[in-house]
Structure 1
């Protein structure tokens, strides 16, 4: 993923990273503009997942298992018979 400097729109590179949660899925990324002659800005951006487009397989399987476990015998039989 290429990030542009918010000041001069030239490429910026990550100089360091600071995890903000134990899982490391949210982090502050420290950037430096590569246009050192005319700009030289440094800035911080936060990287975090926003939402799933497709949930992980393990989550989907667990959700299905929870739904099946909460069906009544009648509902389960109807599901198995395709009604």
Structure 2
């Protein structure tokens, strides 16, 4: 029901919704966020002879590679938690 137009290039392509009734492309005309990881996509078949309207649930499954931002945030929070003299000593050591 959901497919990517290009599975071989990371980040490339668009998400396509396929009509369950006729196996043709459908348009997403609305989106309802259920949570940060789940949303409902309201869809309509593009084939005028079909006209099927339906809802598809799209959900986050798992991480393949963590965000670089996460590592930086963890490091910054750790540095902020240190007393000033320990933070300065750690930073001085990293420059050597």
Q: TM-score, normalised by structure 2?
A: 0.56
Point out which structure has higher relative CO (alpha carbons under 8 A, 6+ apart).
1
Number of equivalent positions:
64
How big is the shift at 1:41?
0.6
Q: Give the whole-Å Cα distance in 1 for the aligned partners of 2:59 and 2:66.
A: 16
Q: Give the whole-Å Cα distance in 1 for the aligned partners of 2:29 and 2:52.
A: 12
Instruction: Give the corresponding residue for 1:30.
Output: 42
Q: Which runs of 5+ in 1 are unaligned?
A: 67-83
How big is the shift at 1:2?
1.5
- Do residues 50 (structure 1) and 61 (structure 2) align? yes
Q: Which runs of 5+ in 2 are unaligned?
A: 1-14, 79-96
- Do residues 12 (structure 1) and 26 (structure 2) align? yes
Q: TM-score, normalised by structure 1?
A: 0.63
Instruction: Give the corresponding residue for 1:80.
Output: none
